[in-house]
Structure 1
Amino acid sequence: MSALDELLAYQRDTEALAQIAGRLGWDQETMMPRGAADQRGEEMAAMEGMLHARRTDPRLGAWLAALEGAELDPVAAAKLRHIRRSFDRATRVPARLAAEIARVTSVSQGKWAEARAADDFAAFAPVLAKVVALKREEGQALAAGGDVYDAMIDDYEPDMTAAQLDAMFGEMRPRLVALREAILDKPMPDGLTGSFPEEAQMALSRRLAETFGYDFTRGRIDKAVHPFSSGSGSDVRITTRTSPADPFNCFYSTIHEVGHACYEQGIDPDYALTPLGSGVSMGVHESQSRIYENQLGRSRAFTGYLYQQMQQAFGDLGVSGADAFYAAVNRVQKDYIRTEADEVQYNLHIMLRFDLEKALISGDLAVADLEGAWNERFERDFGYAVPRASLGCLQDVHWSVGLFGYFPTYSLGNVYAGCLHAALRRDVSDLDAQLARGDTGPATAWLRERVQRHGGLMTPQEVITQACGHAPSAGPLLDYIEAKFTGLYAL
C-alpha cells in the first residue's frame, strides 16, 4: 500500500470509533439511566483516550511527511488537509488532559441537568469551574502562545477569530436593537390556544421531518432536554422536546435539527467515514438548520401549509386564519430562552453568551460570578430581569460539556443562511408556491447540491461563496429580517 492508502485506511477506523463515541453521547442524552452517569464518564474518558492516541500516533506524522508536496486530486488533498489539521491540534494536547476533559464533561452534563431542574446554579458551579479550567488549559496548549479563545473558536469554525466576530456583531447589533424596540412598541399578535397532546405533537413532528427530507431509514427522533442532532452518514439521529402549551417549541426544534441531519445525510456517500464525511464547520451546519427553520419553515408560504396540518391534528388553534397563524409563528415577545427566540432577538442572545464566555476563558469573569454577570447583562440588553437560573445561565447545555467557542457559530450560521436564502430565491423563482403546498423538495435539493453534498471538501468560506456567488456578509440577513418584520408589524 502507498502512504496515502495506509493513512486513509487508518483514518477510516478512527472516524468509525469517533462515531461510536458520539453514539454514547446520544444515549446519555436520551435513554441512559440516571444512575449510570459516573460510569458513563469513565467510558467516555476511555474512548477519548483511545481516540486521542490514534489522532497523535507517530505513524500519522510519518505518513503526512511522506505525502508532503505530493500531487493529489482535490478530494485526496482535502482529506489530507483535514488529517494534518487534526494531527497538528491533537499533538498539542496531552493525552491525560483529553481523557480528563471527556470524563469531567460527561459528569458535568448530568450535574447541569439536575441543577437546571432545581434552578440551583450554586450546585453546578463547582463542576463548571473544573470544566472551564480544563478547557482553558486545552486552549492554551492549542494556541501555542496565540489567543486562547481564537484557538477554541477554531475547533468549530476554522480560521474564524473573535476580532472578526466582534466586527460582525458590531454591524448587526444596532439594526437588530432598533428593530426590536420598534416592534415592542406595537401590539403583540395573539398566540395559539387549545390542547396540544404530546403524542399528537410527536406524530406531526415526524411528518414535518419527512416533509423536509429527513430519511428515517437512516435516522430517528427521540426526546431530550436540549434538542440536538448526532451522527453522520447512515446513522443520523435527532431529538426534540414537547411543551403542552407551546407546540411550536416541538415543531421548530424538529425542523431545526432536521436541517442539521439533512446536511449529514446529504453528504456524498463516497465520503462516509473519511474526514470529508461530516459538515465542514458549525457555522455552515447552523446555516442549514436556520434556513430550514426560519427562511423556509417560518415563511408565510410554509406556515399556511403548517396551519392546515395543525388544524387537522389539534382542531381549533385560537387564531383567525392563516395570516394570524403566520403572525403567531413569528411573534416577537419578551422572553428568556435562546432556542425559543424569534429571528429579531436570537442573535442578541448569542452576543451575550459570546461576551460572557470570552470573559470566563480569559479569567476576567469567575465562574462563581457567572449567574450575576448573566443577569446583569440580560437586563441591560433586554430590559427585564431574569427570574430564575433555568431561564438564565443554566438554560443551555453547551458550557457543561466544554463547548467554548461554539455559541458564536450560531450567529455566523444565521449570516450564512441569509446569504444562501437570497441566492435560493434568485435561482428558484416559484419557491413560495412550492412551500405553500408543503413541497420543500426544490429548496432542499438546491441546498443539498450547493452546500450539503460537499461535506468537508472545501473550507467554510469557500462553500458559502461558491453557493451564493459572493463572500458571506451580514447584509442579506439583516435586510431579510427588516423586510419580514416591518411587514408583519406594519412599521
Structure 2
Amino acid sequence: MTGTGQAAFDALMSFTRQTMALSAVAGRTAWDQETMMPRGAAPQRAEEMGALESMLHARRTDPRIGEWLAAAQAPDAAGQAQLRLIRRDYARNVKVPADLAAEIARVTSLSQGQWAEARADRDFSAFAPVLDQVLQLRRQEADALRAGEAGQSRYDALLQDYEPGMTAAELETMFGALRPRLVDLRACVLDAEGEAPRLSGPFDEAAQMRLTEEIARAFGYDFAHGRIDTAVHPFSSGSGLDVRITTRTSAADPLGAIYSTIHEVGHAAYEQGIDRAYLLTPLGQGVSMGVHESQSRLYENQLGRSPAFCGWLYGRMRETFGEIGIGSAEEFARAVNRVETGHIRTEADEVHYNLHVLLRFDLERALIAGELQAADLEAAWNDRFAADFGIEVDHAAHGVLQDVHWSVGLFGYFPTYALGNVYAGCLFAALRSAVPDWEEALSRGEATRATAWLRESLQRHGGLRPPRETVEAATGAPVSEGPLLDYLEDKFHRLYGL
C-alpha cells in the first residue's frame, strides 16, 4: 500500500466520521421531535431539519470524496468494506439535487406532525394533501436515483436505502411463497382455537414501565448507553454509544408495552453490539433494515413469545399486577400468542403479521409508480384489507393512518419487516442448534444466553458484509422462507393441538 493510498484512506475516513457524527445529531433531533418537543415547535423544527439535511447533503456529495475514493487503498478487509459502502452511498447521493434533499427533510418533518394529528382525529382527508407532497418528492428522488440504472424501477431505486441489493421482484417471489402456507395456518388455528384466554386489568402504566425496564435488561439492553421513553409509535434511534428506544403503554393491555419494548430492544441491541472499532463509520451501524428486523422480530417472537419465556413472564406479571385473569402459565402463553384477525400491524400475531406487510408492500409500490394517488389510498387500503382479512376497517386510525412510515417518506421500508421475519427464521434455526439450553435459560428470564450468540454471530459485524451474506455467514445456510414457515407451523400446532 502506497503512502498516498493510505493518506487518501485516512482523510476519507476522518471526513466520513465527522459526517456521521453530524448525522447522529440530526437523528437525535428527530428522536426529540417524537418524545420531548412541544407540539407548537413543529414549523421551526421543520426548518431546522431542512437546514441540517442541506449541510449533510453537501458533505455527502463533496467532490473530495470521489477524489479520495479514487486514490484510497484499504489497509485490511474492514477497510475494503468501508470503501465499498462509502462508494455506494456517494454514487447515490450525488444523483439527488441538494434542494430536493432539503425539501424532503422539511416536508417530512411537517408531515409527521400532521399525520399524528390526523391519526388522533381519525381523518385521512386532513393528511392526504401533505402525503401527496411527500409522494411527489419521493418520486422525484427515485427518478434521480435510477438515472443510469438500466431497467430499474422507482421502487427498486428507493428500496436500496433499506435493503441494498434487493429487488421488488425477489421480494414478490419470496412473499408469494409465504402467503399460501400462512393463509392455511391461519385457517387451521382460527378453526381450532376457540375463545383464547385474555388478560383482565386495569394495569398500572407506571408499573408497566418498570417491568419493561426489567425485561429490557434481561434481553441485554445497556442502559449506560440507552434509555426508554414513550412515543405514539415505538421506535429505536441511534447507534454506538447512544441508542434510545421508545414504547407506549395502555392501562387495558400491558402486553403492548412489553412486546413493543422487546422488539425495540432487538434493534437497539444490534446497534449496541457492533464492534466499537467501527464507531461513527459506515460499518458501525446495522447493515440493512431487513437484518435489523431479524433481530427485533427474533427477540420479540422466537424468544419473547416462546412458552419458556412466557412461563417466567407470567410469574412476574402476577407479582407486578396481582391477579391478571389467567390461571396458569400455559394459558398465559396462549394469550400472548393468541391468533386473532385485527386491524393493527404492530399488534398482529405471528401468523397474521406478514399478511399486513404484504398489503403495504403492494400499495406503496402502486403509490410510487403513480398507479395509485394519495387521495385514493384510503379506499384502496380498505378494499384490500377486507379482501385479505375478511373484516371491514372501522376508521382511519385502524387503517391507513396507523403507521408513521409513509408520513416521513419511508417508501421501500415496509417489505423489510417480512424479510426480517424470514431472516429471523433462518437465524433461529441456527441458534437452537448452537445454544441447546436456550429454552431452559429463558424459563428463568435469562435471554442473554441466546442474545449473546446473536451478538457474536451477527451483531458485532455491523456492515462488514452485504445483508444476505451477513445472515448466511451467521447461519451457514442459504436464506430461505422455509425455516420461518416451519417454525410457525410447529409452534402453533403445539400451542393449539393441531
1:88-487 alignment to 2 at 5 Å? 88-144=91-147, 146-186=152-192, 187-487=194-494
Q: TM-score, normalization: structure 2?
A: 0.97
Shift of 1:60: 0.4
CA contact (8 A) 1:188 1:331 kept: no
Q: TM-score, normalization: structure 1?
A: 0.99
Question: Which amino acid in the other structure matches residue 313 of structure 2?
Answer: L
RMSD of aligned Cα (Å): 0.8
CA contact (8 A) 2:266 2:296 kept: yes
Q: Which runs of 5+ in 1 are unaligned?
A: none
Q: Are 2:10 and 1:2 equivalent residues in the alignment?
A: no
SS of residue in 2 equivalent to 1:238: strand
Query: Which stretch has the larger CA shift, 179-188 or 263-272?
Result: 179-188
Q: Paired residue for 2:22?
A: 17
Distance (whole Å) between structure 2 residues aligned to residue 160 and residue 301 of structure 1: 35
Question: Which amino acid in the other structure matches residue 159 of structure 2?
Answer: I
SS of residue in 1 equivalent to 2:432: helix
SS of residue in 2 equivalent to 1:230: strand
SS of residue in 2 equivalent to 1:185: helix
Question: Which amino acid in the other structure matches residue 294 of structure 2?
Answer: S
Q: Paired residue for 1:29?
A: 34
Residues 282-316 of structure 1 show CA distances to partners (whole Å, capped at 9, x for unaligned) of 00000000000000000000000100111110001
SS of residue in 2 equivalent to 1:231: strand
CA contact (8 A) 2:357 2:415 kept: yes
Shift of 1:195: 2.2
Q: Paired residue for 1:76?
A: 79
Distance (whole Å) between structure 2 residues aligned to residue 369 and residue 482 of structure 1: 37
* Alignment: residue pair count: 489
Question: Which amino acid in the other structure matches residue 20 of structure 1?
Answer: V
Question: Which amino acid in the other structure matches residue 16 of structure 1?
Answer: A
Q: Which runs of 5+ in 2 are unaligned?
A: 1-5
Ranges of 4+ aligned residues in structure 1 off by more than 2 Å: none
Q: Paired residue for 1:49?
A: 54
SS of residue in 2 equivalent to 1:464: helix
CA contact (8 A) 1:239 1:254 kept: yes
CA contact (8 A) 2:201 2:251 kept: no
Query: Which stretch has the larger CA shift, 113-122 or 73-82?
Result: 73-82
CA contact (8 A) 1:56 1:87 kept: yes
Correspondent of 1:66 among 62, 71, 93: 71
Residues 169-211 of structure 1 show CA distances to partners (whole Å, capped at 9, x for unaligned) of 1000000011111212230311101220110000001100001
Residues 419-439 of structure 1 show CA distances to partners (whole Å, capped at 9, x for unaligned) of 000000011111111110111
Question: Which amino acid in the other structure matches residue 362 of structure 1?
Answer: A
CA contact (8 A) 1:280 1:455 kept: yes
Distance (whole Å) between structure 1 residues aligned to residue 223 and residue 75 of structure 2: 36
Question: Which amino acid in the other structure matches residue 79 of structure 2?
Answer: A
CA contact (8 A) 1:238 1:257 kept: yes
Shift of 1:66: 1.2
Distance (whole Å) between structure 1 residues aligned to residue 206 and residue 60 of structure 2: 44
Distance (whole Å) between structure 2 residues aligned to residue 429 and residue 358 of structure 1: 42
CA contact (8 A) 1:188 1:332 kept: no
SS of residue in 2 equivalent to 1:384: coil
Residues 463-482 of structure 1 show CA distances to partners (whole Å, capped at 9, x for unaligned) of 10011111111000000001
CA contact (8 A) 1:41 1:104 kept: yes
Query: Which stretch has the larger CA shift, 481-490 or 445-454?
Result: 481-490
Residues 145-184 of structure 1 show CA distances to partners (whole Å, capped at 9, x for unaligned) of 5211001111000000000000001000000011111212
CA contact (8 A) 1:229 1:260 kept: yes
Shift of 1:71: 5.7
Instruction: Report the identity percentage.
Output: 64
SS of residue in 2 equivalent to 1:334: coil
